[in-house]
Structures are given as structure tokens and as C-alpha cells.
């Protein structure tokens, strides 16, 4: 099969590779589409701790496709089924996995013990075929497209975060900072769960407009209005019940502390390029809890698929660019240089 392989820092090339065979509990999937993400850029430049070596590794952790072969014991799916994925499969035996916290698996990167993070610690979806464990695959409802399926993985990040904060945001005010793919899917997820108002804050007008079309009750261009002032204004001076930080901007944590309600919650879904500085005492004085989640744990993808099938969250509108597998370098150039304001750039192998 054809597959992108990372041969060195920022040296991703499409080469021939044998189609892998599914072991017990595993499934071989013919990849239909694979999303690109900021993490893909980072790990091409600076390999992650548990990343496979140069010359072997195929990244890609937001993929979808059709079941091509089943490993032993797999009867949950059938050949021909369309599936969406979550990236992480825990070892199933460490203290954290036993408790269901598999995105925090203590055997992260230990393939022998069963852990795998598709496209991060094992081969992923920038290829014609990809393997995954059956527990990380979900049958795709008929009314969803491949684009929806790619974004369902992103929505899984949103929902895992919302699960961490309790999952019950109906009637609560939510401020979402950063209208990237995570922020936009989170906006929809919050509306799907009944949050109101959902305020989306960002710097790019086009993104904010898309956010509005996707359900945000109000959008704030933070270059025109101070974000803290705006959120306090909209929430009658109280601050938002929940602030969700999805921008990764260095100033965002301080703003989050200032725009959250007393006794409220801040959820961090983005990553920062450096240590951040903020007034933690203000959070302490106000009984504010700071939640973080990584990836799409706790069955969040299953829930995301359901919301997508119900028409409550839509992924396809976020896909702005499509490239064939052989054009993957060009695809990442577009991602890196933000050419044409890409939101989600996908590879169609």
C-alpha cells in the first residue's frame, strides 16, 4: 500500500509499505479520509517521546474508513462497515486504564502491553490502510459523511472535556476562546447539550461567522472588544459558568480566570508554546476549578457520533481543503502557512 512515512525532521514522504495484518482484537481499515492537526506539525519537527523511529512511522490520528479485515475475536464489526475512530487505546491493565482513564494510560507508548495512540505511538491514517483496536472504532451512522467522521474525532475532544466538567451545561453560560476546529466543534457540542448563551471569542471574522452559523449565540472579535469585558457584559457581570480555552494563546489563561463566574469552571483544551503566567490566586479566591483533558477518552467519540447522527453537530462545514495522499506535503504546507484560512485540511488516500 501507499503510506506517508516520516524519514526525518519535517521529512514526510509517501512510499510503499506492506498492508498490516490485524492481530486478535484488531481491525484493518481501508482509510477513506484523514484529518490534519497542529499535533501532526509538531511531531514531524520534534518527535514525541513514544513516537516510532524515523523511516518507519506513519502519522495521522483523525481518520475514518471502511473495515477491510477483522482480527480474531472481533465480532463487534463486519467487513464493509464504515467506522470513525478515537486515537487512544489504553493498555487495559495499569491503574488508570482499569479505572477507565485510558487517555492517561501509565503504559503510554508500551505497544507490547497493548497501549496505542494511532498516528502518535503507532502507525496512523496517512496511508491506504490502518490498524486499530476494535474498542477504538465506532460504526458510522448512515447519514454521516467521511468529513463528519473526521471531525467526530475532534468533537470527541470537546465532549471528553465536557464530560470532565460534569457534562451538564444545560442552561449555563459558556465562553469558548479560540474558533479553531476544537473551538468550533466545542461550540456545537455545548449548544447540543443545551448551554445558553454560548459565546465564541476569536480574532478572525470568518471563523466567528462560521461559529455563528454553527450555533454560537454570540461571537466576540477580541480585536474590537476586550474579551473579559465582553463576557462579563453578556453574563450580567457574573462571568461565565464555564470558560473553555481552545486557543493556546499565552494570554488566554489570565483572561479565563477573569471571565469565569465565582465558583465556575475553566476547561483547557489547547496547548501552549511555553509556560503560562496567570493569577492563580484569583481562581483560588473564587473556588474555580481548572480542568484539563487530553484526547477523546471516556467514550466521547460514541457520544459525538450520536450527536452528529442527530444533526446536532456538523463536521463537514469545517473541511476547507482536500488533498490526495501523494499531495500530503502540499497539504501540510497549507496547514503550516495557513494559506487560504484553512480550518480542517484532510487527506483522501
Q: Which residues, 28 to 67, sit near a copy of itself by CB under 8 A?
A: none
How far is residue 342's CA from residue 286's CA, in Å, rounded to a whole number? 38
3-state secondary structure of 109: coil
Binder to a copy of itself among 8, 55, 194, 324 (CB under 8 A)? 194
Determine, following the binding rule CB under 8 A, whether residue 135 of this chain makes contact with a copy of itself: yes
Q: Which cell numbers in the block locate residue 38?
A: 497542529
Determine, following the binding rule CB under 8 A, whether residue 206 of this chain makes contact with a copy of itself: no
Least Å distance, CB 275 to a copy of itself, is 5
Determine, following the binding rule CB under 8 A, whether residue 81 of this chain makes contact with a copy of itself: no
Q: Which residues, 90 to 109, sit near a copy of itself by CB under 8 A?
A: 92-106, 108
Nearer to a copy of itself, 14 or 153 (CB): 153
The size of the interface with a copy of itself (CB under 8 A), counted in residues, is 82
Residue 275, class by beta-carbon neighbours within 10 Å (0-12 exposed, 13-18 middle, 19+ buried)?
Answer: exposed
CA–centroid distance for 90 within its chain: 17
Q: In this structure, is the dihedral angle defined by the CA atoms of residues 168, 179, 303 and 86, taken in order, positive or negative?
A: negative
Q: Which cell numbers in the block locate residue 26?
A: 484488531
Nearer to a copy of itself, 190 or 318 (CB): 190
Piece of 120-128, 133-141, 225-233, 340-348 that binds a copy of itself (CB under 8 A): 133-141
Binding mask 307-336 for a copy of itself (x = CB under 8 A): x-xx-x------------------------
How far is residue 40's CA from residue 125's CA, in Å, rounded to a whole number? 11
Q: Which residues, 219 to 258, sit near a copy of itself by CB under 8 A?
A: 238, 253-254
Binder to a copy of itself among 32, 70, 84, 305 (CB under 8 A)? 305
3-state secondary structure of 285: helix
Q: Before 197, cis peptide (omega within 30)?
A: yes
Determine, following the binding rule CB under 8 A, whether residue 293 of this chain makes contact with a copy of itself: yes
Determine, following the binding rule CB under 8 A, whether residue 19 of this chain makes contact with a copy of itself: no
Binder to a copy of itself among 5, 85, 130, 134 (CB under 8 A)? 134
Determine, following the binding rule CB under 8 A, whether residue 306 of this chain makes contact with a copy of itself: yes
Residue 76, class by beta-carbon neighbours within 10 Å (0-12 exposed, 13-18 middle, 19+ buried)?
Answer: middle
Determine, following the binding rule CB under 8 A, whether residue 339 of this chain makes contact with a copy of itself: no
240: nearest Cα among 268, 269, 265, 270: 265
Amino acid at each position: 500500500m501507499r503510506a506517508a512515512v516520516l524519514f526525518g525532521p519535517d521529512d514526510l514522504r509517501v512510499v510503499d509499505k506492506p498492508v498490516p495484518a490485524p492481530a486478535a482484537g484488531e481491525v484493518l481499515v481501508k482509510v477513506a479520509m484523514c484529518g490534519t492537526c497542529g499535533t501532526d506539525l509538531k511531531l514531524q519537527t520534534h518527535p514525541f517521546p513514544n513516537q516510532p523511529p524515523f523511516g518507519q512511522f506513519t502519522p495521522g490520528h483523525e481518520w475514518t474508513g471502511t473495515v477491510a479485515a477483522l482480527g480474531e475475536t472481533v465480532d463487534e464489526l463486519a467487513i464493509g462497515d464504515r467506522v470513525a475512530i478515537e486515537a487512544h487505546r489504553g493498555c487495559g491493565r495499569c491503574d488508570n486504564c482499569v479505572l477507565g482513564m485510558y487517555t492517561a494510560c501509565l503504559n503510554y507508548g508500551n505497544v507490547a502491553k497493548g497501549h496505542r495512540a494511532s498516528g502518535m505511538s503507532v502507525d496512523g491514517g496517512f496511508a491506504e490502510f490502518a490498524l486499530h483496536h476494535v474498542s477504538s472504532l465506532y460504526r458510522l451512522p448512515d447519514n454521516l459523511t467521511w468529513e463528519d467522521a473526521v471531525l467526530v474525532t475532534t468533537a470527541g475532544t470537546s465532549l471528553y472535556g465536557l464530560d470532565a466538567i460534569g457534562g451538564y451545561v444545560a442552561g449555563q453560560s459558556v465562553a469558548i476562546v479560540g474558533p479553531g476546529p476544537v473551538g468550533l466543534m466545542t461550540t456545537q457540542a455545548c449548544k447540543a447539550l443545551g448551554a445558553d448563551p454560548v459565546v465564541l471569542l476569536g480574532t478572525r471574522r470568518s471563523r466567528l461567522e462560521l461559529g455563528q452559523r454553527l450555533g454560537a449565540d454570540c461571537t466576540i472579535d477580541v480585536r474590537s472588544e476586550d474579551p473579559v469585558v465582553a463576557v462579563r457584559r453578556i453574563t450580567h457581570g457574573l462571568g461565565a459558568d464555564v470558560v473553555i480555552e481552545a486557543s493556546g494563546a499565552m494570554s488566554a489563561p489570565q483572561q479565563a480566570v477573569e471571565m469565569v463566574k465565582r465558583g465556575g469552571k475553566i476547561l483547557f483544551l489547547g496547548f501552549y508554546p511555553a509556560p503560562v503566567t496567570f493569577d492563580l490566586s484569583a481562581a483560588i479566591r473564587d473556588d474555580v476549578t481548572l480542568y484539563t483533558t487530553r484526547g477523546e477518552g471516556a467514550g466521547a467519540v460514541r457520544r459525538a457520533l450520536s450527536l452528529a447522527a442527530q444533526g446536532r453537530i456538523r463536521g463537514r462545514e469545517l473541511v476547507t481543503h482536500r488533498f490526495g495522499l501523494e499531495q500530503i506535503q502540499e497539504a501540510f504546507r497549507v496547514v503550516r502557512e495557513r494559506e487560504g484560512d484553512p480550518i480542517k485540511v484532510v487527506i483522501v488516500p
